[in-house]
Amino acid sequence: MTATPPPPSDNPIAPLGREEYVEQAHFFGSLAARLRENIPAQEVLKSVREEVLATTRLPMAIDFMLSELRHAGAFGTAMSKLPHYFTPFQAFIINQAEDERGRFDLRVGLEVLRRDAEYRAGDSTGDAAGHPPMVQGLFLFQFEVLCRNRLPYDRGLGAMAEDASFSADWREWILRVRRQVGMVDIADLIYVNSEHYATRQARASRGEEPPAQPTTATPLFGDREGRIALANRKKDPVYLFNSLHRQLGYPEAPRHSVVAQDENPLPQIARRLEQLEKRMSLMEEEQRGGIDLSKLYQPPPGR
């Protein structure tokens, strides 16, 4: 007998319910960890499917991802075809990671989705631990992911605007940011749409001209976000994001981990020099009139 999935949550940050996002976080984290061990993706999906909670809808989603992986060689397309379960931003991240022409690492993409699911479930670690999930934190986390990983803003913000977690005011503002990003600083966009800006405008004298007009009737960000944005205007956005992590506990976007190099790089350098010498000799032979392929037919020494 198949267990009935839990009803959807009233929390806009976690519309599927906390259980689903807890299992999603485990799924994406396990998938990333085992792919680092060079285990085939199909085997990993089969293994993790047995681990996740059967009372959630995630096992059915994994089955569909497995089917899509066998037929198309990727599972990002499966996530795009399940918009009732995976958000457009989740599908966008995996599709970017699976794009052969891009430079976005799949393991980083899976870590992004793990932190996204953890935040929605209220189980974040680090600076975000103990802070309830908020729509402001969700937006800033996803926007930081686009910035730090140099992902296309147009498609990324478009996917964010399709997330049901954001209200109509939020979606309208995100689409406006989509048109203005690169021309207007993100700190300015946050500041003029914060309660702090509205309070300062209310206290301003009648003869004082406001520096900018808010783009929404109701401020989307609170007083503290506005203060932090004001303090970080005309600065690198990294300082803004770091301040939001420390002060408000918003989740931090993952970064590429630095691969530890060998203590003694000489053997690796020697191998590369040997390869270069072989390539140079082949080029010289080709310039002299052709490559002698008979050398390649000789058995290796010792046989």
Residue, of 10 and 19, whose pLDDT is higher: 19
* pLDDT (0 to 100) of residue 140: 96
Q: What is the pLDDT of residues 273-285, one digit of tens each?
A: 877 887 787 778 7
Cβ-contact 251, 137 below 8 angstroms? yes
Side-chain half-sphere CA neighbours of 107 within 13 A: 11
- What integer pLDDT is reported at residue 115 of this predicted model? 95
pTM over 0.85: no
- Average pLDDT, rounded, for the chain: 84
Tens digits of residue pLDDT in 81-117: 999 999 999 999 999 999 888 888 999 999 999 999 9
Confidence of residue 1 (pLDDT cuts 50, 70, 90): very low
- Asked if pLDDT for residue 123 goes beyond 90, the answer is no
172-221 residue pLDDT tens: 999 999 999 888 899 999 999 999 998 888 877 555 555 555 555 689 99
Q: Is the pLDDT of residue 255 over 90?
A: no
Query: Nearest Cα to 96, choosing from 77, 73, 114, 115?
Result: 77
What is residue 258's DSSP assignment? P
Q: How far is CA 160 from the centre of its chain?
A: 11
Determine the 3-state secondary structure of 118 from DSSP: helix
Q: What are the φ and ψ backbone dihedral angles of 101, each rounded to 5 degrees?
A: -85, -15
Q: Where do runs of H (alpha helix) occur along 204-261?
A: 223-231, 237-248
From-to residues of CATH 1.20.81 in the chain: 1-123
Give me the residues paired with residue 197 across strands: none
State pLDDT tens for residues 139-154: 999 999 999 999 999 9
Which positions ≥6 away from 105 have C-beta within 8 Å? Answer: 97, 256
DSSP designation for 221: B
* Three-state SS sequence of 160-198: HHCCCCCCHHHHHHHHHHHHHECCECHHHHHHCCEHHHH
CA angle 76, 254, 248 (to 5 degrees): 120
Look at domain 1-123 and name its CATH class.
Answer: mainly alpha
pLDDT above 90 for 232: yes
Q: Which of 48-57, 81-90, 219-228, 247-256 bottoms out in mean pLDDT, i.e. has the lowest?
A: 247-256
